[in-house]
Amino acid sequence: MSSFSDIHFNRILVVDDDPLIIEEYQRCLGEDYEPDSATTTLSELEKVLFGDDTDETGAARFDVDTRTQGEQAVQAVEEALRAGKRYTIVFLDIRMPPGMDGIETAKRIRRLDPDVNIVVVTGSVGAEIDKLEIEVPPADKVFFFKKPFHAAECRQLAAALCGKWHADMALRQANEELEQRVAERTAALHKLAYYDPVTRLPNHLLLLDELQAMIERAEDSDGDSVVVLLDIERFSFINETMGYDAGTELLKSIGNRLTRALVEERKGARAVIGRFGADEFAVLMPGVENDAAIRDLAEQVKSLVEEPFLIEGRDIFLKASMGVAWHPVHGRDSALVFRCAEAALHRSMRSLDNVITYYHSEMRYRARHKFDMEAEFRGAIENGQIQAFYQPQQSIRTGQLAGVEALARWIRADGTVVMPLDFIPLSEEMGISDLLFESILLSVCTDVASWRDDGGWEVPVSVNLSAHQLRNVDLVSLVKKVLARRSVDRELINLELTETALLEDLTIARPILSDLSKLGVGIHIDDFGTGYSSLSYLAELPVKTLKIDRSFVTKLVDSESNKRVVQAIIALGKAMDLSIVAEGVETDRQYALVRQLGCDLVQGYFVAKPMPAERFRRWVDGHEDTQSLKHTSTVVGIDTHRT
């Protein structure tokens, strides 16, 4: 971080080839200067600007250096920078034959010192003056001063520019200190969000990211990326019989033992160890060469956990259920591989002898099931079977209906409902996610138009965007086309995307979201806190609303660390003038806590469950104050993880 405490204040460099002009500068900027009666307020201005950096008469003190040629001036600036005694102002004569002129000198000085105020002095206005701001940017640090000048004018300009320079330096230092504090707070927030507070190991969210990184690296290398999930049998019994302190010590010991054996003492590829859940741990291992090596790894993990632990002077013997899956056999992304490992773990937990379960049989079943669903799913989109269910949001401040989120549902011909967790990933694998997005957007716009025609509807509606949609170069024109097709005003549509999808490629997302905002639709961020949260990307995007991920809300009552994360997210949103929505609120205690913490809106089963469009409309009509619908924000989207 820069520090300006050692800079010699009010250093001025005068560059002119006329000795008489230099003498006049020295006189008007010297300590013996006495203003005439017409400039008696000058000393008062200098007092305000400089405070203690004035002499006994109240006049500003200037340290004036002089040079007669441009090359000498450039050298003087270089020497001043090396000595840590920077100039605040450089007065430059525009013509100093036979050397380079003032404009060229100014360019070279600016390349050396981006902060110094440059004053180009000339007796006439020429074409080169018109281009001064372009030639020597920035515009707020380059000035034109005409000869002949009055001494008081010169001194007043020097006083004002020196004061401006000191203010700029102070602001820069304050900004650097603020950026440092923000970086520290962001790091602390990241630690709370991505590390287990008990074991200090990566949590579920970070494990997903770590596995995805392994998968991406594995594309150019040999070997599989393996996930081993393990569940400690009867862990709750240890808490009940020996106390929670003993349970906490045991969790730390398990993590430490796995880390020592698989990370610190292992040669070659090293594992990532994390706490996946309350009594569940995960081992991620890259570069596993074959099926035999996968089995050796799983057996080693099981052996490590089932060796006795010394806790409070007693040997504790554990039994662990284990599920194993790996990339690329069981999936091409981390979420899918983890789901396969979880399925294998659940089967292991149901067995009587705690066998290690590998995800082979489930893989074959899923392949057959996926093949059948693909053909049916394409027909479902074409036949309009993908519908929006609507879930209200409530204003915490007023208790009124303040928004709605629409959740995509696949309603089969026989009336059975397929949840988005099953068909959203399928649409991306099939390459028809854009078609699905258009279908959902059209369905939402149809409902909004119908509500408007039935008696007026002025509530904006938001549709979720996936990472895939952000890579669609025709996204803006697609949204514009659907809005026009149903004659829905642009102000009635918002677009919502998860933070994880946004941060996959911010370079691509930024211009797309900017164009969408210019189109007139709003931008909301869902599941905030689950990605690598950063102040910088929020400041760069036209965001209106943040939604706190339900994983934080679910644990809010029992977890102080989650409470601190939610507090930090709310503080961040409020500082940036954003609306905050807490989703997944299911109990009165959760509602009370998010209200206490300062959320604006609340959503979840505590308010209402998702409803089809007709039932939702009846619900709205039965609301005690339907007028509260006007001028409020509504969020509608394709939900990929809610049930």
Q: Which residues lie below 8 Å from residue 422, measured CB to CB, with a gap of 6+?
A: 373, 410
pLDDT for 641 equals 41
User: How many angstroms separate the Cα of 219 from the Cα of each of 214, 291, 446?
Assistant: 9, 18, 44
Domains of the chain by residue range: 11-171, 204-359, 368-629
pLDDT band at 530 (very low <50, low <70, confident <90, very high): low
Quote the percentage of the chain above a pLDDT of 90.
33
At residue 250, does pLDDT exceed 90? yes
Who's near 24: CB < 8 A, 6+ residues apart?
A: 151, 154
What is the residue type of 387? Q
pLDDT at 87: 94
Confidence at 129, pLDDT banded by 50, 70, 90? low
Q: Among 317, 336, 316, which residue's Cα sits nearest to residue 327?
A: 336
Tell me which amino acid residue 144 is.
F
pLDDT tier, 47 (very low <50, low <70, confident <90, very high otherwise): low
More confident residue, 122 or 119: 119
Domain 368-629: state its class: alpha beta
pLDDT given for residue 586 in this prediction: 94
State the fold for domain 204-359. Alpha-Beta Plaits (3.30.70)
* Model confidence, pTM: 0.45
Tell me which residue has tokens 């007139």.
520
Residue 534 pLDDT more than 70? no
Tens digits of per-residue pLDDT, 476-493? 999 999 999 999 889 888
Contact 594, 546 (CB under 8 A): no
> Distance between CA atoms of 167 and 409, rounded to whole angstroms?
58
Q: How far apart are CA 87 and CA 105, in angstroms?
A: 15
Class of domain 11-171: alpha beta
* pLDDT tens by residue, 385-431: 999 888 888 889 988 878 788 888 999 988 898 888 888 888 887 88
| Among 527, 519, 559, residue whose Cα is nearest residue 196 | 559
Does residue 55 surpass a pLDDT of 70? no
CA angle at residue 641 from 543 to 189, to 5 degrees?
Answer: 55
Q: What are phi and psi of 404, to 5 degrees?
A: -145, 140
Which pLDDT does position 597 carry in this prediction?
93
Q: Counting beta carbons within 10 angstroms of the beta carbon of residue 253, is it exposed (0 to 12), middle (13 to 18) or buried (19 or more)?
A: middle
pLDDT of residue 605: 92
- C-alpha angle with apex 612: 607 to 615, nearest 5 degrees? 75
- Using pLDDT thresholds of 50, 70 and 90, give the confidence band for residue 366: low
